[in-house]
Amino acid sequence: MTMQTVSLNKSYGGTQGVYRHASRETQTDMTFSVYVPPHAGGARLPAVWYLSGLTCTHANVTEKGEFRSACAELGLIFIAPDTSPRGEGVPGDPANAYDFGLGAGFYVDATQEPFARNYRMWSYVTEELPKLVTENFPVDANRQSILGHSMGGHGALTVALRNPDRYRAASAFAPIVAPSQVPWGIKALGGYLGNNRQAWRKHDGVALIEDGARLSDLLVDYGDADNFLTEQLRPELLQAACEKAKIPLTLRRQPGYDHSYYFISTFMADHLRWHAERLKG
């Protein structure tokens, strides 16, 4: 696979790059960003994957996430994919809604038309892009972790729960923990996967835990001023599932914070240090 460099900028002694490639999974060009911290020649570095939320691209966290200082200090590569396929001929939501279609891929492989051809974000973020990144950047494939925000928090939880041998740690900012039980998730999973709710369970963090998937531990932050907290995020469902499964969960309620990148950037360094501890050795 070949990729095109869109931009390169030096930051905190490392390099922030944005790249584009033709994806076999989505049948479109896909753009992603990678921050590589300063490092000795020949070194292989631990990598943190970041999955973004509804309406976002790679650019939101790249420009507003405030992760580079901590990554440079901790020696972490930071990888940020897009949230959905884009381009001419890619179907969006007929009503132009923000929570389905373009910018709202939900990290699943769609089975329903007209989305099945392009909306293959699960295979893209778990198989195709990791292979491309490992071939082109100094990533230690045995030291990877994942985090995400909102829809991307849903993605991070499900990816980690279904791939426990690949990701040493998982955390999330304001994740959609049980998409099968909330409006955002019901719309997306139904639209992409059809009406068989049993098929939804492998893309639902709480359902995966109920069905036996496990993590060694988990860190989740949410703001108590988040407008989506009660209807869409439902962190209490994750708390109950983790308690029943005996998964150590650090669930932090942050007073006064909302759903925005002001919230994410405030606690980003905390999460990266938490990941770095689990990526040692």
Whether residue 39 lies in the annotated active site = no
Decide if 259 is catalytic. yes
Residues 6+ away with beta carbon under 8 Å from 195: none
Catalytic residue among 58, 204, 226, 271: 226
pTM here is: 0.97
Choose the catalytic residue: 150, 154, 203, 275: 150
User: Tokens 């689990």 label which residue?
Assistant: 278
- Tokens read off for 75: 């020696």
> Is the pLDDT confidence value at 1 over 90?
no
**Given 149, 259, 271, 275, which residue is catalytic?**
259
Residue 156 sits at φ, ψ, to 5 deg, of -60, -45
Q: Quick one: average pLDDT of 245-253?
A: 98
d(CA 175, CA 231): 12
Residue-range domain boundaries for the chain: 3-279
CB-based contact 238:187 (threshold 8 Å):
no
State the average pLDDT for the chain: 97
- CATH classification of 3-279, choosing from 3.40.50.1820, 3.10.20.600, 1.10.1200.10, 3.20.20.70? 3.40.50.1820
Is residue 275 among the annotated active site residues? no
The per-residue pLDDT for range 44-91, each reduced to its tens digit, is: 999 999 999 999 999 999 999 999 999 999 999 999 999 999 988 899
